[in-house]
Amino acid sequence: MTKHSGPLVELTDISKSFGAVRALQGATLTVDRGEVVGLVGDNGAGKSTLMKVLSGVVVPDSGSIRIKGEECRFRSPADAHRKGVATVYQDLALCGSLDVASNLLLGLEPRRLGVFLSRAELHRTAQRVLSDLRVKIPSTRQVIEDMSGGQRQSVAIARAVIHEPDILIMDEPTAALAVAEVEAVLRLIRRVASEGVAVILITHRLQDLFTVCDRIDVMYEGRSVASAAADSLTIESLVGIITQGEMQRMQGTHD
């Protein structure tokens, strides 16, 4: 089979309306293998809706989704998952009453004789996964609800990566984390990308974008308005791009 040489992910002219609200108006996004792309914009810009389209949560009204050059039609998250799309949401979707290993390998638990859960193997496998990702967790037997926000975020990312996705969508992964925890999560994102995973990062912490992203895409009112290499921007210039649409809207109301 010939290896696909174009972008790993191509979203083209994606539109979606919810009643009279046009959430997406011809939005476009491309991501290469091993690339970290930051997706930013004011509240209501369409970032989360566009990612819900890619993850199969929302079915677009029009436009195309291509993964490895193949056009895809996602009707559910399961469809997207089968094409290698994984998502880590802001609420993490971890089970607080279970330990790290049980969360990490939920649905993939090793069993003896195909029936009996092997707790020892469960924890050995979990520790190996975390070590490969260089995630520092005191113990795989630690209960999730007793962990810090950064530790929980690292477990959620590791759980997504264990399924070997091609595309990882991350929604506000560093929100409400301490400085040291933010740095640890950003390092983890770069390690995931170094394995060839295409990472899409939604965040309001603009400083994080310049630490971890290769490219930054900006949305405004459901449209893609700019895409630039992260090292060609500053926080000030990025804020200018994000707010330009709002400034134009305000000027229009005064004309």
> What is the pLDDT averaged over residues 44-66?
96
> What is the pLDDT averaged over residues 9-35?
96
Residue 251 pLDDT > 70: no
What are the residues whose beta carbons fall under 8 Å from the beta carbon of 240, sequence distance 6 or more?
Answer: none
Q: What is the pLDDT of residue 115?
A: 53
Give percent of the chain with pLDDT exceeding 70. Answer: 89
Residue 4 pLDDT > 70: no
**11-20, 31-40, 43-52, 117-126: which has the minimum mean pLDDT?**
117-126
Q: What is the pLDDT of residue 90?
A: 72
Q: What is the pLDDT of residue 95?
A: 86
Q: What is the pLDDT of residue 199?
A: 97
Higher pLDDT, 117 or 101: 101
Residue 28 pLDDT > 50: yes
Q: What is the pTM of this model?
A: 0.86
Name the pLDDT band for 254 (thresholds 50, 70, 90): very low
168: tokens are 């990882």
8 burial level (CB within 10 Å; 0-12, 13-18, 19+): buried
CA distance 42 to 55: 21
Residue 97 pLDDT > 60: yes
Q: What is the pLDDT of residue 177?
A: 86
Q: What is the pLDDT of residue 163?
A: 85
Q: What is the mean pLDDT of the chain?
A: 88
Q: What is the pLDDT of residue 114?
A: 54
Give percent of the chain with pLDDT exceeding 90. Answer: 60
Residue 109 pLDDT > 90: no
Highest mean pLDDT: which of 3-7, 72-76, 152-156, 180-184?
Answer: 72-76
Residue 125 pLDDT > 70: yes
Residue 247 pLDDT > 50: no
Pairing of the two strands 70-72 and 62-67: antiparallel
Name the pLDDT band for 119 (thresholds 50, 70, 90): confident
Residue 116 pLDDT > 60: no
Pairing of the two strands 198-202 and 215-220: unpaired
